[in-house]
Amino acid sequence: MKIAVLYGGVSGERDVSLASGKGVIKALKANNHDVIAIDFNPNNLSEIIELNVDLVFIALHGKHGEDGKIQSLLEMLEIPYVGSGVLASALAMDKSKAKQIFGLNGIPIAKSHVYNLKNKSDLQITEASIKANFKVPFVIKPNSEGSTLGLTIVNDYTQIKEALITAQLSDDYAIVEQFIDGIELTVPVKGEIGQEIALPIIEIIPKNDLYDYESKYTEGGSEHIIPARISEELTKKIQNYAVTAHQSLGCKTYSRADFILTKDNIPYILEVNTLPGMTSTSLFPDAANKIGLTYEEMIEEFVNLSIN
């Protein structure tokens, strides 16, 4: 098939997207597809509007790629693409809205609240509200951002203002979330609509104190243990939560759900990634490899699921 790969983009996750895109392009070529590589920029939409391809593989991360905007454009142009649709992408990107949906579907969520940061003069009021409603430690992060960009773990109330300003650099809204201490877990999900399956759960051991941008995308920045060192009963429960999260948002083809497992064995969901990383250090390919899928076979399955 003739397949266009959109990668790069203009979000804070551009470097990761470039790496994901290169991996996808290489795999598609190995699978004998005719590939057009496009370093996407929303200021040059003519590249997309003039596309004449069978399929678009979106390897973008963050804003203008993972939030439903490019999906909307492709749908208006009637060009099929790999991954979740407009609504599911937008919902997953909006952490607050996604958490509401997860909670309604019985998935454990941490206490949180969203604050409007558009008016800088209101930061003092926001700071006072956070102090009144949250006990340290808690997390302040942009409501619509990925890869822990703009995230601060607040251990002292004096950090609130600076944390809000940091989050404000990425988004007009910040989500404040009670800090959950525990084991980092992630669960890839793939399959046809209504028949999705969860892949082996990955336990993540970051080299840094926090599973941050460096830990996620630097070679050796974290250790991936597959399958996670938890009981079979707990494994099934978390896998079911991941599939439920995928389906409740309306995701398609593939996604990856992130959890924190407390010492009391409560798995709190953090978010669902509708376009998880596809770099050499990424989690989804690791889990796929564990069930016998090579990177190239995994990419081909995504293509076939999308076409079907």
Last residue of a domain, one of 178, 193, 222: 178
Query: What pLDDT does residue 149 have?
Result: 81
Q: Based on the fold, state whether residues 174 and 260 are members of the same structural domain.
A: no
Q: Based on the fold, state whether residues 101 and 236 are members of the same structural domain.
A: yes
CATH code of the domain containing 217: 3.30.470.20
Burial of residue 209 (CB within 10 Å: 0-12, 13-18, 19+) is exposed
What is the signed CA dihedral for 25, 30, 33, 36, rounded to 10 degrees?
20
Cβ contacts of residue 166 below 8 Å, gap of 6+? Answer: 140, 150, 152
Give me the residues of the chain with pLDDT under 70, please. Answer: 146-147, 208-221
Q: Based on the fold, state whether residues 188 and 297 are members of the same structural domain.
A: yes
Prediction pTM value? 0.92
d(CA 61, CA 246) in angstroms, rounded, equals 18
Q: Based on the fold, state whether residues 192 and 303 are members of the same structural domain.
A: yes
Q: Map residue 116 onto helix, strand or coil.
A: strand
Dihedral-angle region of residue 187 (phi above 0 means left; psi in -120 to 50 means alpha; beta otherwise): beta
Q: Based on the fold, state whether residues 221 and 296 are members of the same structural domain.
A: yes
Domain that residue 278 falls in: 91-109+181-307
Which active-site residues does the annotation give?
A: 13, 147, 217, 256, 258, 271, 273, 277
Domain count of the fold of the chain: 3
Q: Based on the fold, state whether residues 233 and 143 are members of the same structural domain.
A: no
